[in-house]
Amino acid sequence: MLLTIIMTSQLTYDVPPSQALKDKLLSYCAERWTAFKTSLTKRFVHVEVEEGENRPNPCNEYNFLDEATWKEFYRIKTTPEALVSFYSLSYFILI
């Protein structure tokens, strides 16, 4: 997916043939991709859901995200290791 974003960016914007600019574009795309995954995790994985209420599904909001990809992302983000990492980081941010 990140490669698709980079290629689309290069087609959309006139990126001069400079390695420094290409590196900067790659860095920016990687930053934004990480921010998007963090947003998905906060908004759709670690969201409190009332009993009887369905968990929100990002596939309804993002047409490029298919159900299989979302289920795999959700599975990875809810492993014990990922949960410890997420909540440990949240604890340190609150301090």
pTM of the entire predicted model? 0.69
Continuous H helices in 1-95: 2-12, 19-40, 67-77, 80-94
The CB-based long-range contact list for 62-69 (8 Å cut-off, 24+ gap) reads: none
The per-residue pLDDT for range 6-50, each reduced to its tens digit, is 667 667 777 677 788 778 888 888 898 899 999 999 899 888 777
Decide: 15 and 25 in contact? Cβ < 8 Å.
yes
